[in-house]
Amino acid sequence: MNKTTHFGYRDVAVEEKASLVEGVFRSVANNYDLMNDVMSFGQHRLWKQFTIAKAALKPGDTVLDVAAGTGDLSKAFAKAVGQKGRVFMTDINEAMLQRGRDRLTDLGIVGNIEFMLADAEQLPFEDNYFDCVSIAFGLRNVTNKDAALRSMYRVLKPGGKLLVLEFSKPASLLLSRFYDTYSFNIIPKMGELIAKDRDSYQYLVESIRKHPDQETLKGMMTEAGFEDVNYFNLSGGIVALHAGYKY
């Protein structure tokens, strides 16, 4: 019997999901930053600033940004670690990675950053290599999240930190109802008008609802080997930042 997984609210064969997600992000790459600003009313910038602060990077650190998209975190990490540090900006999607590479190159962020196609489930790095690993708004698109968490644990140095920034479950029923109404009625229409792609944003809305909630993801990180796992609810739990350590 073929194994299935979810692609939004659809059940698909496990081996099909990666290509379906690739199609979504290839389609939205050119309008990705604009849509993030519009959909979140600019809040995504604050969520990322919080993540950057919690990373607490030092000059000379080596950092991995998984599913880096257009490079908001990588840009800040490269500045924080300085020319003696190293940032690896990775994504499984070539269109998104190229968009990020072009953007950061245009901003003059060169010399301490490398761009690589990489699958979060099978990261192509040696064990115990990174001081910090981040994944922002990417884990929910990964087919095997447990494998990705184990892979990120493997490449972290002892004492290293994983940061997972992702949409999560609103803390109050009232906020949850408002968020559902906004997500399902407004965001796909925004995608249709701005990005000319309603279906991709319908998937993105559905993928958020299929992602593990705060406590479930905390348990998954602990199961993968991380210790002192905790999370911070942002915007009332619409987004959460999870942090875990490898000792």
Residue 35 lies in a domain: yes
Among the residue ranges 22-31, 32-41, 211-220, the one predicted with the least confidence is 22-31
Which pLDDT belongs to residue 230? 98
Q: What is the pLDDT of residues 53-103, one digit of tens each?
A: 999 999 999 999 999 999 999 999 999 999 999 999 999 999 999 999 999
Above 80 in pLDDT, residue 223? yes
Q: Who's near 219: CB < 8 A, 6+ residues apart? A: none
Q: Who's near 115: CB < 8 A, 6+ residues apart? A: 89, 90, 97, 100, 101
**Domain total for the chain?**
1
Whole-number percent of the chain with pLDDT over 90: 84
Question: Measured over all CA atoms, what is the biggest interatomic distance in the chain, rounded to whole angstroms?
Answer: 52
Residue 8 lies in a domain: no
What would the mean pLDDT of 196-203 be, rounded to a whole number?
Answer: 92
What domain range includes position 35? 25-245
167 near 239, Cβ under 8 Å?
yes
Q: Who's near 185: CB < 8 A, 6+ residues apart? A: none
Residue 16 lies in a domain: no
176 near 145, Cβ under 8 Å?
no
Separation of alpha carbons 79 and 59, rounded Å: 9
Residue 7 lies in a domain: no
Residue 106 lies in a domain: yes
CA-CA-CA-CA torsion sign (198, 93, 204, 56): negative
Above 80 in pLDDT, residue 1? no
Kindly report the average pLDDT of the chain as a whole number.
Answer: 94
Which pLDDT belongs to residue 11? 84
> Token pair of 53, please?
């602060």
Residue 17 lies in a domain: no
Residue 72 lies in a domain: yes
What would the mean pLDDT of 155-184 be, rounded to a whole number?
Answer: 97
CATH number of the structural domain spanning residue 155: 3.40.50.150
Higher pLDDT pick, 31 / 75 = 75
Q: How far is CA 101 from the centre of its chain?
A: 17
What would the mean pLDDT of 6-14 be, rounded to a whole number?
Answer: 85
Q: What is the pLDDT of residues 104-139, one digit of tens each?
A: 999 999 899 999 999 999 999 999 999 999 999 999
Residue 217 lies in a domain: yes
Which pLDDT belongs to residue 2? 63
Q: Which residue in 94, 206, 217 sits closest to 163, CA to CA?
A: 217
> Token pair of 219, please?
């348990």
Which pLDDT belongs to residue 32? 87
